Chain A
């Protein structure tokens, strides 16, 4: 299993109140799986995704990704772990507006030991894979939403991470662009064997996944 979650719990404090978000989550995700996390707003699906991606910490339980118990890592180690093991695809793409498509995709590679030439080759390959070889020098503001999300996907896969996490990757896109992005994510899973965990509200998007897990009031329903 690439992701092993045992009795995971997470709560937020709002004023004096403690609001439980996730309660006793136990979940396994196999390598090469493509899982869609669905559920109503506030069900905890994004929180679960954030915990798996190592950008938030649980209150209790264990969470192993790629054999590493990430709950025990400190901030610096967790950052280094994320850089190596997690590819992020955000709803609003989260590209750096002052960097070109090429530079945005190159960004995660700056944390590796690769030289400039190797980085360039990797970036060209990644952008070719998402069909944006002709948009290398374009800034995000010069790209459509769908193109920006494809740049974000190229950035997510550039370091060949253990898992790809996608939070509503089509939430900000029109139908045609959303379809392109979903097909691309599907290809990453089928052709490259990437493990993908995607949060979505969209049943059509979820249908592309190999398995769907429903969350309701912080608990896994199915």
Chain B
């Protein structure tokens, strides 16, 4: 009780100094949380990937397609439960700023492979019946106000021309990890138009999505798929969906690494700032600590007071920072639109924020505490604060 009283009263002795230090920690914790959330958002696709799906693409590069005829051969490979295919479309909705992923998918099979995309059965049927039909994610629909029955026009970049679609369904995610910002339309429509605008791309597929009969057969099936098409004109590279997604992340890994470094740099900077504050505080109170020692209080008492004060300040900053991270992340997520499949603060981020705050407190208090407990009483008493 006495310790708590002293800790809180000491923490509030220089209110402006404490307030500024807390503010600094709040900014650091918020910045750290947001940057971590950006990194998490970057990996969200990979994290949400299923273990029971493989993705097969052209071994040379994703830019090169695979023949449609591979579908039948893949289906015959032992361990394959289902096969579907998709093409990246890369269209522009009104302006380039409105980015969201668009895929031409094999309508009869694609959604069977993705149970996490929850589409009302009637809407799915409508989509499969309408060659110009599209299914959009809930977040995408909310962002752009798409409703079932709306016409959506995309300007093709890989496949030139203006492409008209009718929204036939809106899918939700089975959980909050599911990417609900995608736009799917029928591959048959793409193939049909490609005959006129890009004949070389007819009957070609961007990737095959392979459903496995058992997740533990992923390596075996992937190897068999690649062996099947070895020495063909379009050799395949088959990997788990997660590895496939991570391949995209690795293309921008330097950015992710930079963000991570910046997030920890922020914590390091505030750690130094708070260490300075605590050092200044303890220096000012050296005569008080010497008095306590003279009265018989041991190093443990002093350490409790100093560490306690550091934890109160850092804890206050952490709590305010964490509370602020949620609305700010929400705003940030909305501002970035559908750039990230999901933008939410993970529990792990909050734990990391708390851990960083604890680390800040410990590091900030360590040296001042060592000094206070080591100072000779007579030297400390001479130090009139």
Contacts and interface: CB of A to CB of B under 8 A. Distances in A.
A and B pair up? yes
B295 A108 contact: yes
B6 A99 contact: yes
Contacts of B13: 97-98
Interface string B280-308: 00000001100111111110000000000
A51 B377 CA distance: 11
Interface in A98-118: 98-99, 103, 107-108, 110-111
A30 interface: no
Interface stretch (A86-94, A184-192, A200-208, A212-220): A86-94
B17 interface: no
Contacts of A98: 5-6, 9-10, 13
Interface in A67-96: 76, 79-80, 82-84, 88, 90, 92, 94, 96
Contacts of A142: none
Given A79-B297, A88-B295, A94-B287, A50 B384 contact: no
B376 to A, nearest CB: 7
SS class, residues of chain B in contact with chain A? helix
Interface string A4-27: 000000000000000000000000
Contacts of A160: none
Interface residues of B, number: 21
A56 interface: yes
A157 interface: no
B381 interface: yes
Contact of B2 (A53, A56, A110): A110
B330 to A, nearest CB: 40
A55 interface: yes
A56 B9 contact: no
A13 B236 CA distance: 80
Contacts of B297: 79, 83, 111
A56 B379 CA distance: 10
A66 B336 CA distance: 76
Interface string A152-173: 0001000000000000000000
A79 B293 contact: yes
B53 to A, nearest CB: 63
B378 interface: yes
Contact of B377 (A55, A92, A108): A55
Contact of A53 (B6, B287, B294): B294
Given A82-B294, A83-B295, A88-B295, A94 B381 contact: yes
Contacts of B287: 92, 94
A119 to B, nearest CB: 11
A158 to B, nearest CB: 10
A55 B294 contact: yes
A82 B295 contact: yes
A107 B294 CA distance: 12
Given A96-B288, A110-B2, A79 B9 contact: no
Nearest to A56: B378
A97 B384 CA distance: 13
Contacts of A155: 295
Contacts of A96: 6, 288, 291-292
Nearest to A108: B295
Contacts of A82: 294-296
Contacts of B292: 96, 107
A140 to B, nearest CB: 11
A90 B384 CA distance: 11
Contact of B376 (A53, A56, A76, A94): A56
B381 A90 contact: yes
Contacts of B296: 79-80, 82-84, 108, 111
B295 A55 contact: no
A103 B5 CA distance: 10
Interface string B19-53: 00000000000000000000000000000000000
B377 A56 contact: yes
A7 to B, nearest CB: 21
B158 to A, nearest CB: 70
A94 B288 contact: yes
**Residue of A76, A80, A99, A107 with highest tally of chain B CB at under 10 A:** A107
Contacts of A88: 291, 294-295
Nearest to A85: B296
A94 B290 CA distance: 9
A50 B6 contact: no
Contact of B378 (A55, A76, A83, A84): A55
Contact of B298 (A50, A76, A84): A76
B75 to A, nearest CB: 77
The CB with the most chain A CB atoms within 10 A, among B296, B297, B378, is that of B296
Given A94-B288, A107-B292, 14 more contacts: A50-B377, A50-B378, A55-B378, A56-B377, A56-B378, A76-B298, A79-B298, A84-B296, A92-B384, A96-B291, A97-B13, A98-B5, A103-B5, A107-B295
27 contacts: A50-B377, A50-B378, A55-B293, A55-B294, A56-B377, A79-B296, A79-B297, A80-B296, A84-B296, A88-B291, A88-B294, A90-B381, A92-B287, A92-B384, A96-B6, A96-B288, A96-B291, A96-B292, A98-B6, A98-B10, A99-B5, A99-B9, A108-B295, A110-B2, A111-B296, A111-B297, A155-B295
